Amino acid sequence: MRIDIVSIFPEYFSPLDVSLIGKARARGILDIRLHQLRDWTHDVHRTVDDTPYGGGPGMVMKPEPWGEALDAIAGDVRRLDAEPGEVPGPGAETVPTLIVPTPSGRPFTQADAVRLAREPWLVFACGRYEGIDGRVVEHARTRMPVEELSIGDYVLAGGEAAVLVMIEAIGRLLPGVLGNAVSAVDDSFAPGAMESLLEGPVYTKPPEWRGLRVPDVLLSGNHGVIARWRRDQALRRTAANRPELVAGMGALDERDRRVLD
Ligand SMILES: Nc1ccccc1-c1cnco1
């Protein structure tokens, strides 16, 4: 998978050099390219924002730099002033999916991560200030799929943190990235993972720590009883922290109702 990220703070993405994603890049599973939006400005101050039409607080990101950046990256062969030697992408016929993190976007979910992990090429546009001029997404939609996505109901200073979250959620699902393929399936929210229940508590050695013992059932070696205990713990934690997920499971059977009583 190829990923392009356009931002006025490309240095924000140094975490993508380490850990799981860093290893995937080193192994050629992920090809992540960072771009400084200001490289597509033409004034001495490398201006990327201006005041909003219609008034209101803050600044809006200008459309011109974004348009030129997406032309250069997405290989818009229709652009007349293409720089010689610009590489359009993995293949002229490949069109990237543009992902724009925004608080007003559709919620980004595990299902989106699974779906986007199948794409050959993603381009992330990191907006700052009050957002990007609406015509950028409008024009981009004429030449590629565009998804405006939110990672949650809180206010960030820009899209960079959201892009890190999405790249980790997507990248870990790529074949060969996770050492133990099973863990991607067992994750909370992974399709089919115990009806999307939150994972219960986990334990490792020592069997007793500061007077606190690991639950005996986990030391019993009885895998059926252990699986049942883990699901009960998952159900209790989900009911406590995300009751709407339990409600979405439909009617609980008698045993599950007893677990929650
Ligand atoms: N708050 C933001 C500001 C700028 C760009 C994205 C966001 C965002 C994305 N998901 C939640 O918030």
Query: Quick check: is 261 catalytic?
Result: no
Average pLDDT over residues 215-224: 98
Q: How confident is the model at residue 187 (pLDDT cuts 50, 70, 90)?
A: low
The CATH classification of domain 185-260, taken from the options 2.60.120.460, 3.40.190.10, 1.10.1270.20, 1.10.10.10: 1.10.1270.20
Q: What is the DSSP string of the chain?
A: -EEEEEES-GGGGGGGGSHHHHHHHHTTS-EEEEEEGGGG--STT---EEPPTT--SS-EE-HHHHHHHHHHHHT-TT-TTPPTT---SS-TT--PEEEEEEEEEEEP-HHHHHHHTT-SEEEEE--BTT-B-HHHHHHHTTTS-EEEEESSSS--SBSHHHHHHHHHHHHTTSTTTSSSHHHHHHSTTSTTSGGGPPP-----S-SEETTEEPPGGGGS--HHHHHHHHHHHHHHHHHHH-HHHHHTT-SPPHHHHHHH-
Pocket test for ligand 1, best of 8, 59, 156, 160 (most atoms within 8 A of CB): 156
Query: Quick check: is 115 catalytic?
Result: no
Average pLDDT over residues 192-219: 91
- Residue 52 CA to ligand 1 center (angstroms) comes to 18
Question: pTM for this structure?
Answer: 0.89
What number is the ipTM of this complex?
0.99
Domain extents for the chain? Answer: 2-171, 185-260
Q: How confident is the model at residue 80 (pLDDT cuts 50, 70, 90)?
A: very low
Give me the architecture of the 2-171 domain, per CATH.
Answer: 3-Layer(aba) Sandwich (3.40)
